[in-house]
Structure formats: structure tokens, C-alpha cells
Amino acid sequence: KEDTTYEGQQLLEQLATYGKDRTWLKNQSKKVAEQ
């Protein structure tokens, strides 16, 4: 049980980081498009 909880937590953290990266990339491309 503890192992699955730990792996699930890791997955959630990876997804959160991925989401942040995608949002950052979107903002960056918006800035470039506006220039």
C-alpha cells in the first residue's frame, strides 16, 4: 500500500511539473508571437 501511494505521489508531482512547463511554454510562445 505504501509503495503505490508513493508512486502515485511521484506521478502527481511529475504531472504538476509537466503542466507548469506547458503553461510556461504557452506563455513564452505568446510573448514571441506578440513581438
Give the end-to-end CA distance of the chain in Å, rounded to a whole number.
Answer: 52
7-12-16 Cα angle (round to 5): 150
Task: Provide the residue range defining the domain that includes 15.
Answer: 3-32
Q: How many domains does the structure of the chain reveal?
A: 1
- The pTM of this model reads 0.54
Q: What is the pLDDT of residue 23?
A: 93
- Number of residues that this document lists for the chain: 35
Q: What is the pLDDT of residue 24?
A: 92
Q: Give the tens place of pLDDT for each residue, 14-25.
A: 999 999 999 999
Please report which confidence band the pLDDT of residue 1 belongs to, taking 50, 70 and 90 as the band edges. Answer: low
